[in-house]
Structure 1
Amino acid sequence: MNGVPTLAFSNTDPLGYNFSYREIWHTTRDLYNLSIPEYMDYTSVTQAVTVYNMANLKNLLPRDGIYIQE
């Protein structure tokens, strides 16, 4: 397996900023000053709540089918 496992959420534009995540993702246009504050607030809370709840599960999450066979 290559890379680091990450959380992936939807990349939509519900507030209508005409924002295309794939247009700027890891390009020279990926600048902090172009970040949309409402989206940053929402994303940080969503990820914090998700990770907190995952960390407090009674059992580990199953890992079957996660790793690609080489």
Structure 2
Amino acid sequence: MNYFQKAISLIEKQKNTHQNWMYLQLLFLEAHCNELLGNTDLARKGYEKALKTEPNFKLVRDKYYPDFLKKIRKLIA
């Protein structure tokens, strides 16, 4: 996780986030890893950050984030 965070931080410091698919992929991978580790707050924030950066990121928008939300709703219910 530290490597994901370090890479994301470096890209953000360079202000190289616009249309940077490597950056988006890192955001997604960090969020998904947090989900798998049970860090639901960090996972939610990561998925939302990826979608805020690129609302048309289909992999996150159509698959992973909706599946994550369903999983969370089941845990709460």
Q: Structure 2 length as normaliser, TM-score?
A: 0.31
Greater RCO structure (CA 8 Å; 6+ sep):
1
Which structure has greater helix proportion? 2
